[in-house]
Structures are given as structure tokens and as C-alpha cells.
Chains A and B, each alone.
Chain A
Amino acid sequence: MTVAINCEETGKKLQETIAGSVISAGKADILVDANKLLQVAGYLKNTAGLDFDYLTFVTAVDFLDYMEIVYRLVSLKNNQSLILKTRCFNRENPVVPSVVPVWRAAYYQEREIFDLFGIKFDGHPDLRRLLLWEGFVGHPLRRDYL
């Protein structure tokens, strides 16, 4: 049984290791500061006991006030899962660090989010539109698109 990891405890550990990284740690997910995302990702992947080596999905949700990026991580070794979230508040020029250096699985998914939400992933090796064509205006999955 894939067990959702105890987020409150993990959040505390994260906060101790990387100061100022965790904004809140709820029952089912951890919300982290976008500036510390890459450090958090590295910690979650490489710490013994966590070993989150397998990224399933990355997606974004537009809440109009802010955009939330959601990562679901799985540890194949310990059979545990974790939902990691981060937010970006700037709608005009949203930038979030890319997690491709840590999990290659995000490669196409970040390109898709860039395409459909317009969120730029800093450090992505090849950030271009994925599904829509070059020159398309707008980002259709934003709630204010139509």
C-alpha cells in the first residue's frame, strides 16, 4: 500500500534543514516557498528515509489570486507518496524554478504548463510550447482566458 507520508512531520524536518522553505504543512500536502523549491526537491530526493526518486505528475491550477503548481512524488523504495505544492503570485510574469535537474520526468510536463498556463520554469533546458503551435497568443488553461 502506497502510504501518504506524514506531511506535518516531514514539513518540520524540511523547515529545520532548509530555513524558511515551508509555508505550511497540511494533512495531505506541503506548501513550499518557490525560491527554495529546488533545494527542497534535492533534499526530498536524496535524503535517506525519504528517497522520493519518482515524480508522477506536475500540474498547475489557476486560482486567479495565485497559481499553484502541484507535484506528486513517489518513493519506489519505501512505497510512500507526497504532494508538494508551490505558489506564484505574479500573473504577468510568473516564474518558478524548474525541477528538471532533479526529476527528468518533469521535462514534458513543465513544457506543457508553460504552454497552457504561461508559467516560466527557470532552468528548464528547452522551454517551448508543447501542444499549441509557435505564435499562439494566450494561455488557454488560465481561468480568465475565455
Chain B
Amino acid sequence: MAIRTEPFYLNIGPQHPSTHGVFRLRVTLDGEVVVGLEPIIGYLHRGIEKLVETRTYTQNIPFTDRLDYLSSMTNNLAYCMAVEKVGSIKVPERAEYLRIIFSEIMRISSHMMAVGFFLNDLGAMMTPVLYMWREREKIMDMFEMVCGQRLLYNYMRIGGVSQDLPEAFMPAVKKFLAEMPRYIDEYDQLLAQNEILLARSKGVGILPRDTAIAIGASGPVLRASGVKWDIRKMDPYSIYDRFDFEVPTGDSGDCYDRYWVRMLEIRQSVRILEQAIAQIPQKGPVCADMPQFFRPPKGEAYGYVEAPKGNIGFYVVSDGSIAPYRVHIYPPTLINITALQDMVMGWKVADLIIIFGSIDVVLGEIDR
């Protein structure tokens, strides 16, 4: 007689180190195998979309920092771009370059955290993360230099950025860019052919190309599944059309590809940064002339950028007053976790943690 098994439920989270925040996974298990999964979110819901309706356009910028707090700069940028589209504001040349420089530094920092914590989930407790943090510390120092903050920068403004670079910044970023390729080589040497990493992530949690498009995934999750879609390339916003870079893609869409695409993207970001540092105009205004209370005309616009975790967008509706009528935040990670259910079916609980880690989620953004 065959042994009959009975499925049971397991709650992972909301307070669990592998959930990267306050996130709950309700998993249906058959023995050790995952047969059902339901993500339960909302523990960090702060109602940002409602709060922004009672504040002025500029006062809302700090809220965007608190969405994906590991890539605050790109959130700032997406929001400012949306408002600039509504108000038809032209951003000065030097400010455009500063925005790109900080977005790309942010991407390096965010991807390093993603890779570090992915390996953490894999069982390489803290060692890879500390390697990654060695470089992230330098990035934090650079951000602190320019806006006095290490996590929530509130640096960009509608029409430009809040302040120009201090003198010490350019030497610091040049030193960082000179060192970075060597450090990436070091990571690759340590990780890329690591037997445990290969065994646990190759072929695990495959997201097929068609599913990735159907669920609307974006960022490294989409590109790892073989879709060459990067907004910086396909719809160059700001001044991305002036830079020469490639869009790395994976071919099988497994956890290893998602890790590898991120490592390749760090190299491309270094490339973009080198070009931006060489091209940036030495002098000039860093913010357009803006009134204290900015009243854009009636209308609506969608501003979107390629954030480290995917395509973040802000849909801003203006009614002509000093506060936005409605702001919708389009969060890439909420969309990317739609795929989680497809990816984990049939894998064991230990793999579920890795697959979830490979998506790279930040709960501040999912719950808003």
C-alpha cells in the first residue's frame, strides 16, 4: 500500500530573517516539497499614496526615499521626472549628469546588497555580505559627502538636484571607479564558480520567458529570463542615450542567472559612470529656477526609470494646486513576487528561501 501524505501549512514570517523585512509566506507543504504558496503583505503599509495628497510636490520627495530604501536615489529620480513631465520643466545639463552618476552608484550599491544577501540566504552566513559592504561603505561615504545622509538621501529636487558636489567628491569617485573592477573580479573569483553556489542555484527556480512577460516582471528578474528589456536602452530617459553600455541577459531564468545578471550589471554601471565623469560639464546650475510653491498645470504624467530592482514608476495627476491630486507608485518588486508562486512549485523549503532571495525584494516598496 502506498503511503498517503497530507499537506500542511507553514508560516514563514512575518518576523523571519530570510524574509528581508516584514513579509509573510503561507506555504502549503507536502513533506518538504512546496505545493502552494501565498504571499501576505501589508505589514509595512504606511499609506504613502494618501499622505502625498496633502503635501506639496517638494515635500513629497522624502516619502519616495522610504519606498525602496536601498535605492533611494532612483526613487527620487522617478518621482521628480514625473512631476517635471507634468510641469514641462527643463533640467540643467549638469544636474542631469549628477542624477545619472548617483543613480548608477546607487545601482552598484543595491546590486551588491542583493547579491550579498542572496548568498546569505544560501547559507554563506555574513561573509559575502561583509565583502560587499566593504565597497558599499565607500559609496555611503560619497553620498554622505554630497547630501549629509547615508540611507535616505532626499537629494534630488524637482528641476534638478539640491546641491552641487563638494570638492572632495570627484577624487573619491575616481578612486572608487579605479578600484571597483578589481573588486568585481575578486567577487567573481570567489563566487562565480563556487561549487555550493552552482549546486544550489543552477536550474533552481526557473522563470520561463513567457511567464516573466505575462506577469509583467522587470529589472534583473526579467532580463535573467532572456528578455533584453532595459528602459535605459529601450526608452532612454534623461541622458542615457549618450552612454555606451550593454544590457546583460541570462538564458535559463534560474537563480544563478539572476545573480549573474546583477554582477554583469555592476560592471556596466562602472562603465556608464566612467563616461559620465568624463563628460560632465565642470560648471553650471544644478537646479532649474523653481517657485517656492510649484503649481503644475492640470494634467497627468507617468515618470519611470530603470531602478536596480526593476521599473519603478510614478503616475502623477495634477489639478493645478500645490499638492498632487493623486500619485500612484508602481512598485517593481510587488510585481516580481507574482512570479514566486510559479518558481517555487515542486521545490523544497530550503530552495524557497533562495528563490525568494534571488528576486531581491524590499518590503518598503511592496507595502508603500
Residues on A lying within 8 angstroms of B by beta carbon are 1-2, 53-57, 59, 61-62, 70, 72, 76, 79, 83, 103-105, 107-109, 116, 130-133, 140-141, 145
Docked CA distance A53–B229 (Å): 13
Could you tell me which B residues sit within 8 Å of A by CB distance?
41-42, 45, 47, 49-50, 213-216, 218, 227, 229, 231, 234-236, 302, 304, 311, 313, 315, 317, 325-326, 328, 330, 334-335, 338, 367-368
Interface of B is mostly: mixed
Contact A104 B338 (CB under 8 A): yes
**Nearest-CB distance from A109 to chain B (Å)?**
8
B49 contacts A141, CB within 8 Å? yes
Contact assessment for B213 and A1 in the assembled complex, using a CB-CB cutoff below 8 Å: no
Out of B50, B236, B311, name the residue touching A140 (CB < 8 Å): B50
Q: Are A57 and B338 in contact (CB under 8 A)?
A: no
How far, in Å, is B237 (CB) from chain A's closest CB?
Answer: 10
Note all chain B residues with C-beta closer than 8 A to A109: 334-335
Give the contacting residue for A61; candidates B47, B231, B325, B330; CB below 8 A: B325
Q: Contact: A130 with B42, CB < 8 Å?
A: yes
Q: Known contacts A59-B328, A61-B326, A76-B227: does B367 contact A131 (CB below 8 Å)?
A: yes
Complex alpha-carbon distance, A72 and B335, angstroms: 14
A103 shortest CB reach to chain B, Å: 7
Measured in the bound complex, the distance between the Cα atoms of B366 and A109 in whole Å is 11
Given A61-B326, A131-B367, 12 new contacts (CB under 8 A)? A1-B234, A1-B235, A2-B235, A57-B302, A57-B313, A57-B328, A59-B330, A61-B325, A61-B328, A72-B313, A105-B335, A140-B47
A141 & B50 in contact (Cβ 8 Å cutoff): yes
Across-interface contacts of A76 in B (CB, < 8 A) = 213, 227, 229
Cα(A141)–Cα(B42), bound, Å? 15
In this complex, what residue of A is CB-closest to B317? A61
B227 nearest CB neighbor, chain A only = A76
Complex-state Cα separation, A71 to B358, whole angstroms: 28
A-chain residues with CB within 8 Å of residue B368 when the two chains form the complex: 131
- Alpha-carbon gap, A131 to B313, bound state (A): 19
> B326 to A116, Cβ gap below 8 A?
no
Chain B residues near A70: list those with CB within 8 A: 315, 328
CB distance from A58 to the nearest CB of B (A): 9
In the complex the two chains form, what is the Cα distance from A57 to B302 in whole Å?
10
CA distance A72 to B328 in the complex (A): 12
The residues of B that contact A83 with a CB separation of less than 8 Å are 302
* CB–CB A57/B49 < 8 A: no
A59 to B317, CA, bound (A): 12
Complex: chain A residue closest to B229, CB-CB? A76
What is the bound-complex CA distance between A108 and B45, given in angstroms? Answer: 15
> Cα distance A72–B300 when bound, in Å?
13
Contact B42 A133 (CB under 8 A): yes
- Which single member of B50, B227, B234, B330 contacts A56 (CB below 8 Å)? B330
Question: Nearest A residue to B241 by beta-carbon distance?
Answer: A1
Taking CB as reference atom, which chain B residue is nearest A133? B42
CB distance from A63 to the nearest CB of B (A): 9
CB closest chain-A residue, reference B328: A59
Q: Looking across the interface, which residue of chain B has its beta carbon closest to that of A116?
A: B49
- Taking a contact as CB atoms under 8 Å apart, the answer to whether A131 and B42 are in contact is yes
Bound-state Cα–Cα, A40 to B368, Å: 31
In the complex, what distance in Å separates the CA atom of A62 from the CA atom of B317? 11
Asked if B302 and A132 make an inter-chain contact with CB atoms under 8 angstroms apart, the answer reads no
The reply to whether B326 and A56 form a contact with Cβ atoms under 8 Å apart is no
Q: Which residue of A lies closest to B337 (CB)?
A: A108
* Contact A131 B302, CB 8 Å, known A53-B213, A56-B216, A105-B216: no
A107 pairs with B338, CB closer than 8 A:
yes
Contact between B236 and A1 (Cβ–Cβ < 8 Å)? yes
Point out the residues of chain B lying under 8 angstroms from A103, CB to CB: 214, 216
The distance in angstroms between the C-alpha atoms of A109 and B328, with both chains bound, is: 11
For A132, give its contact among B45, B227, B229, B304 (CB under 8 Å): B45
- What's the least CB distance linking B253 to chain A, in Å? 15
Contacts of B330 in A (CB 8 A): 56-57, 59
| Closest Cβ neighbor of B218 among chain A residues | A56
Distance between Cα atoms of A61 and B335 in the complex (Å): 20
Once the chains bind, are B49 and A2 in contact (CB under 8 Å)? no
Residue of B nearest to A107 (CB): B338
Expressed in whole angstroms, the Cα–Cα distance for A74 and B326 within the complex equals 22
A107-B338 Cα distance, complex, nearest whole Å: 8
- Report chain A residues within 8 Å CB of B335: 105, 108-109
- Bound CA–CA A52/B47 (angstroms): 31
CB distance from B79 to the nearest CB of A (A): 14
CA distance A57 to B312 in the complex (A): 10
Q: Which residues of A contact B338 (CB under 8 A)?
A: 104-105, 107-108
B214 partner residues in chain A, CB cutoff 8 A? 53, 103-105
CB-based nearest B residue for A102: B214
